[in-house]
């Protein structure tokens, strides 16, 4: 099975694009050639990509599939494929099928094999009980590739964060952490609920940037003690980014990601729009937003992840209180178009930097760089075909997830996904007449991190 994809362009240095051809054999890239290279064989299939820009498939480091009434795995991965995403880190949640036992992990593995339209890595929370180290190893063997932690002062069963990270280090298991010190937030929440003034103002005040920086500091200290690979997810403010950047100068194995909503909106937008923009961590100031953009260009921020975790709309956003409304946004489908707009129209990123943020760095974080993240011989033929100059307007009703709501409703973007390929198989196609085809469920695979 040998296919030549031709009449395409790939990203060169900075914003340069180069005419090229891709040779794919048995789901892997066999060669990336200059356009017109004479290597054709008699049994080669040719696929015309009509001058499209071919990018490595996006790897989204933050997707939660919490419950079928919010987002099923099939619908989440359909949205992902429509957005050029070919692999995702499935984060656990309170209602996730990722449970505290081997059976829970095995259920998610089976779901990945039957429902997913793209590849994924499974994350698991820390196990409970005195034998948690053995149980974590059992989960890893069952298919969980990452452990997610929350940097509280004391974790379950009295275990400290350094101990948890040391357990992951023993298994060569990467750790993803949200910089949200739930113990401190809970204390401030109790005071804020009974306060006076606007409820959203009080809710946001219970989640100040200083607490996120405190969480980042706890993660740095635990990383220093354990030497665990720690990826800090959903960084929202300058203070936390400064803490992480200083720690990386020590050579600590820390990486960081932010999310489109922290790059697009501020606290003022939340106060104006209401709970439609409810996120946790909360939206920050314009200065914080600009610092995150600076971190993207400087390399202090390694990746941008969607943090896709939609509530059931509108039921879970109309309770009348930010303490009972469910935070979270839908974002996996718009991650790449949002960043293409930033790169092409707004000139905040180069195309070369965009590829690093969305593909190469996430593959490295997940221990998948031997399989994914670049257009290179031997790697999976995961790629997306885009028209980086095509303008379009976001309308929630045209999205592919179960919860068709987005804070980007009505926004003009530049950069349209026309096709997505997973191991050389088309899992999404948008034809010139607007007709869309989404690949079958069950073609995705569970990926296992490998660092050696």
- Mean pLDDT of the chain, nearest integer: 92
Nearest alpha carbon to residue 236 among 251, 215, 253: 215
Count of H helices and E strands in the chain?
A: 14, 16
Instruction: Report residue 47 as tokens.
Output: 């696929």
pLDDT: is 87 or 275 the higher one? 87
pLDDT: is 402 or 100 the higher one? 402
- Give pLDDT, residue 422: 98
pTM, entire model: 0.96
Q: Which CATH number fits domain 2-54+379-438: 1.10.630.10, 3.30.2130.30, 2.30.40.10, 3.40.50.2300?
A: 2.30.40.10
Per-residue pLDDT tens over the stretch 326-383: 999 999 999 999 999 999 999 999 999 999 999 999 999 999 999 999 999 999 999 9
In this predicted structure, which of 42-46, 116-120, 202-206 has the lowest mean pLDDT? 42-46
Inter-CA distances, 3 with 25, 40, 48, 84, Å = 7, 10, 11, 20
Domains 2-54+379-438 and 57-365 share a fold: no
Per-residue pLDDT tens over the stretch 188-200: 998 898 888 899 9
Please name every residue paired with 46 in a beta bridge, in sequence order, or none if there are none: 4
pLDDT: is 275 or 242 the higher one? 242
The alpha helices in 173-316, defined as continuous H runs, are: 182-193, 199-205, 209-226, 238-248, 260-264, 267-273, 286-298
Interior angle at CA 422, CA 421 and CA 428, nearest 5: 45
pLDDT: is 106 or 59 the higher one? 59
Nearest alpha carbon to residue 302 among 77, 64, 62: 62
| Helix, strand, coil share of the chain (percent; to 5) | 35, 25, 40
DSSP class per residue in 113-128 = HHH-SSEEEEEEPPPP
Residue 153 has pLDDT above 60, yes or no: no
Fold of the domain built from segment(s) 57-365: TIM Barrel (3.20.20)
- Give pLDDT, residue 386: 98
Q: Where are the domains of the chain?
A: 2-54+379-438, 57-365
- Give pLDDT, residue 174: 97
Per-residue pLDDT tens over the stretch 80-99: 999 999 999 999 865 444 44
């Amino acid at each position: 099975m040998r296919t030549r994809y031709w009449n395409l362009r790939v990203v060169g240095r900075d914003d340069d694009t180069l005419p090229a051809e891709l040779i794919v054999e048995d789901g892997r890239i066999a060669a990336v050639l200059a356009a017109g290279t004479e290597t054709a064989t008699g049994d080669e299939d040719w696929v015309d990509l009509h001058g499209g820009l071919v990018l490595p498939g996006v790897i989204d480091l933050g997707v939660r599939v919490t419950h079928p009434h919010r987002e099923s795995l099939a619908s989440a991965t359909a949205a992902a494929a429509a957005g050029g995403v070919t692999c995702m880190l499935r984060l656990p949640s309170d209602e996730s099928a990722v449970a505290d036992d081997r059976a829970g992990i095995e259920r998610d593995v089976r779901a990945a094999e039957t429902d997913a339209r793209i590849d994924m890595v499974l994350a698991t929370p820390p196990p409970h009980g005195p034998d948690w180290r053995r149980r974590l190893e059992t989960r890893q063997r069952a298919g969980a590739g990452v452990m997610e932690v929350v940097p509280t002062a004391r974790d379950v069963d009295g275990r400290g964060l350094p101990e948890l990270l040391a357990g992951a280090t023993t298994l060569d298991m990467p750790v993803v952490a949200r910089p949200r010190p739930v113990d401190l937030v809970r204390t401030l929440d109790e005071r804020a609920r009974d306060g006076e003034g606007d409820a959203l103002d009080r809710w946001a005040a219970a989640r100040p940037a200083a607490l996120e920086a405190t969480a980042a500091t706890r993660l740095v200290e635990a990383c220093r003690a354990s030497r665990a690979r720690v990826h800090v997810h959903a960084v929202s403010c300058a203070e936390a980014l400064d803490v992480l950047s200083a720690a990386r100068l020590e050579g600590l194995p820390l990486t960081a990601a932010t999310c489109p909503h922290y790059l697009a909106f501020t606290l003022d937008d939340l106060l104006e729009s209401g709970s439609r923009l409810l996120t946790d961590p909360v939206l920050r100031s314009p200065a914080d937003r600009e610092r995150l953009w600076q971190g993207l260009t400087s390399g202090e921020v390694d990746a941008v992840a969607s943090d896709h975790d939609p509530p059931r709309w509108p039921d879970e956003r109309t309770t009348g209180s930010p303490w009972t409304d469910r935070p979270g946004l839908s974002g996996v489908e718009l991650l790449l178009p949002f960043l293409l707009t930033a790169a092409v129209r707004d000139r905040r990123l180069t195309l070369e930097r965009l590829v690093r943020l969305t593909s190469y760095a996430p593959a490295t974080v997940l221990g998948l760089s031997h399989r994914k993240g670049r257009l290179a011989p031997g790697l999976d033929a995961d790629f997306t075909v885009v028209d980086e100059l095509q303008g379009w307007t976001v309308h929630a009703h045209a999205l592919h997830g179960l919860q068709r709501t987005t804070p980007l409703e009505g926004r003009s973007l530049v950069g349209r996904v026309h096709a997505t390929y997973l191991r050389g198989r088309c899992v999404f196609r948008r034809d010139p007449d607007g007709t869309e085809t989404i690949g079958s469920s069950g073609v995705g695979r569970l990926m296992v991190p490998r660092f050696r």
